[in-house]
């Protein structure tokens, strides 16, 4: 697979040594993240909207209620930026200045297009499968009314960049002998034991 041919405008400029453009790295980060932040300009200025996303090959899908403000704005074809960020560790250096964070992030610039009614059932399954593998064959599928109420948007993976920091602190040479603990506190996101919910919906 060839790398993403991201244009100079959307390539990583700050600390470009941390940039990655290969599909494997980008896909893995998108597939692990449970939330994406989508930036676009609405009537009140720029917005960074948290959204659940699902990757469909070489595009990313987001969805929402057809009546929501942000779906109306995004489906009109405005420029957007979808970012996912996984925090992997807190990096403690001997100097305050070199404290940092280990992370993996992906930024996608583009314009979303609406997923057609014909494609929508399959697209909806991709979201359900992200919640739990196999789940789309267990739960009652969306009916016509539910499909109609939902808007699914597709953002192509063309203008894409990943940025990754890992490893330990990068202290200055003259600080290496300071009697200060230095290292990494790992940060991990994990799933807990499933909690059944047998109650009827609260009134």
Within 141-200, the residues that bind its own copies by CB under 8 A are 141-143, 146, 150, 167-171, 173, 175-176, 178, 180-200
Q: Which is nearer to its own copies, 8 or 57 (CB)?
A: 8
Q: Which is nearer to its own copies, 44 or 57 (CB)?
A: 44
- Contact in structure between 27 and 179 (CB atoms under 8 Å): no
Q: Using alpha carbons, select from 154, 143, 153, 150 the residue that is nearest to residue 68.
A: 150
Alpha-carbon distance of 64 to 118, in angstroms, equals 17
Mapped onto helix, strand or coil, the DSSP state of residue 8 is helix
User: Residue 131, interface with its own copies (CB under 8 A)?
Assistant: yes
- Contact in structure between 37 and 83 (CB atoms under 8 Å): yes
User: Residue 35, interface with its own copies (CB under 8 A)?
Assistant: yes
Residue 96 φ/ψ, nearest 5 degrees: -55, -40
User: Residue 97, interface with its own copies (CB under 8 A)?
Assistant: yes
Residues that contact its own copies, how many (by CB under 8 A): 94
Which of 25, 26, 40, 59 is close enough to bind its own copies by CB under 8 A?
40
Q: How far apart are the first and last CA of the chain?
A: 52
Which of 83, 113, 154, 164 is close enough to bind its own copies by CB under 8 A?
83
Which of 124, 153, 160, 161 is close enough to bind its own copies by CB under 8 A?
124
Which of 3, 31, 122, 135 is close enough to bind its own copies by CB under 8 A?
135
CB of 126 to its own copies, least distance (A): 11
Tell me the CA distances in angstroms from 120 to 52, 115, 152, 195, one per residue in order. Answer: 16, 6, 7, 30
């Amino acid at each position: 697979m060839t790398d993403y041919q991201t244009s100079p405008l959307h390539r990583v400029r700050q600390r470009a040594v941390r940039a990655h453009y290969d599909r494997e790295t980008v896909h893995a980060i998108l597939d692990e993240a449970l939330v994406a932040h989508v930036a676009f300009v609405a009537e009140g200025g720029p917005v960074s909207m948290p959204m659940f996303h699902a990757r469909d090959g070489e595009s990313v899908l987001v969805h929402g209620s057809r009546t929501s403000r942000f779906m109306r704005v995004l489906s009109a074809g405005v420029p957007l930026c979808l970012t996912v960020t996984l925090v992997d560790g807190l990096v403690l250096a001997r100097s305050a200045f070199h404290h940092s964070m280990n992370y993996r992030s992906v930024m996608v610039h583009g314009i979303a297009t609406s997923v057609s009614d014909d494609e929508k059932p399959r697209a909806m399954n991709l979201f359900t499968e992200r919640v739990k593998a196999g789940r789309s064959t267990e739960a009652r599928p969306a009916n016509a009314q539910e499909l109609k109420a939902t808007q699914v948007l597709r953002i192509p993976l063309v203008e894409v960049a990943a940025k990754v920091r890992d490893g330990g602190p990068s202290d200055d040479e003259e600080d290496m002998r300071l009697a200060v603990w230095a290292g990494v506190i790992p940060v991990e996101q994990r799933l807990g034991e499933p909690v059944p919910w047998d109650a009827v919906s609260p009134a």
